[in-house]
A and B are shown apart, each in its own frame.
Chain A
């Protein structure tokens, strides 16, 4: 009787937790739409500039969020281009090649890295910039590249852990099948283990992408500025949506400006949702391509 009651209580709690989360998400989305929905439109993105001119890079956008959107996309792309290969390779090493005390040491190291606050990572990026500025070239300053490197460092533990866990959780029977057929360890990893871990690895990539998209502490120390236009190169400063949101929310001068901040938040969520959809499509496509065609 008591066991039954406990089971029922747990079921109700689980449902309540799921419901609460959904409600929180819907409330947040509703609140953002209420506050910033009115600003959504071409003007918010392109300002006075003709959209086609802006998209063809013929004219700069000064009073729209287009540079910040492009900056955010470049930031995410650059960070993930650095983090994905390193993270997956390190995850493979941890799951397939590393053992004993070395594995324990690296696990501890990655756990510590995962727990480092983003402001500290930003500070590390800034320190690196200062070091390079002093010792190599006076022209080196905070830039998109430094931000990408710092963000990549921030999200590496997620990618390493998800890859490692995905590989380690593969059924031992499947793990031994390819070697029994004459596969080398590398062939087993590339042809069987990794394709079978795609879902989990893409899950880690989605998580890391979201982290890159939202982090403000790192970029405010390493290259993001309130007004820079489109980044001229990876060595230049740039605008980014999270920094814009932070900037507006802390220094707005009127309700219209605050509404633009909420509009920027909606755009940031839409960019993340778009990237999520692309990742899910890639996950499905890759699984089909690697395993069934």
Chain B
């Protein structure tokens, strides 16, 4: 689906923010090769809610997600200014503080990409991969965690007999659920979702939406989406990004 204009955006039911704030940005600016992509963003994102970010293609939605887990550091020519604080394990953390290693942050702030991106390895290894990175090698622990994550995304019954098969051989919907399971296996506090259903059919999308709703109790979800009907169905709060600036049709902006 292509980007929609502001006029297309249906008014959302504003959900009063009663939960605590999970993420705060203050005067956040982002630059790519000296070109300013995001301008002076100050927002508060509530904990244990689904916050949707919408807007035209190229407006900076995915960039905003990449700031929240410092994935932008992997791309040459990027720089940021301003503050981003995330409440992790009960403490407010400045995520751009160099004392906080990016790999530690990313284990707490998981990410699912628009395109399903199973690693070119077996289904089992795909899910176990984040565990191996944290040096969790106890076979029983890993096996249980993998099974738990696959059950959580309702794919266990479909793959339990072929865990050694290449993850890329799964269907698009299964791959996306696999990626979601992989992001969940470390029990992240924040889950960033970059158009997680854009490459899926309606049935698979509905399954993912249901799953996301069930995840709210465990973590905070920030989701980029183009689909207004999807946002209506599952989002608690919506932001719109226009030319790198955040507009708030609902509530939550400073």
Contacts and interface: CB of A to CB of B under 8 A. Distances in A.
B206 interface: no
Given A178-B129, A180-B111, A181-B182, A196 B104 contact: no
Interface stretch (B130-138, B149-157, B220-228, B246-254): B130-138
Contacts of A191: 129, 132-133
Nearest to B121: A291
A195 B71 CA distance: 22
Nearest to B166: A292
A117 interface: no
B113 A173 contact: yes
A180 B121 CA distance: 17
Contacts of B76: 99
Chain B contact residues (Cβ within 8 angstroms of A): what range?
20 to 34
Contact of B120 (A181, A183, A291): A291
Contacts of B120: 174, 196, 291
Contacts of A174: 117, 119-120
Interface in A172-188: 173-184, 187
29 contacts: A173-B113, A173-B117, A174-B117, A175-B74, A176-B71, A177-B113, A177-B117, A178-B129, A179-B106, A180-B71, A180-B106, A180-B110, A180-B111, A180-B113, A181-B110, A181-B130, A181-B182, A182-B104, A182-B107, A182-B130, A182-B133, A182-B134, A192-B119, A196-B120, A290-B121, A291-B166, A292-B121, A292-B125, A292-B164
Given A177-B119, A293-B164, 18 more contacts: A173-B117, A174-B120, A177-B117, A178-B119, A179-B74, A179-B102, A180-B106, A180-B110, A181-B110, A181-B129, A181-B182, A184-B103, A187-B103, A191-B132, A291-B120, A291-B121, A292-B125, A293-B122
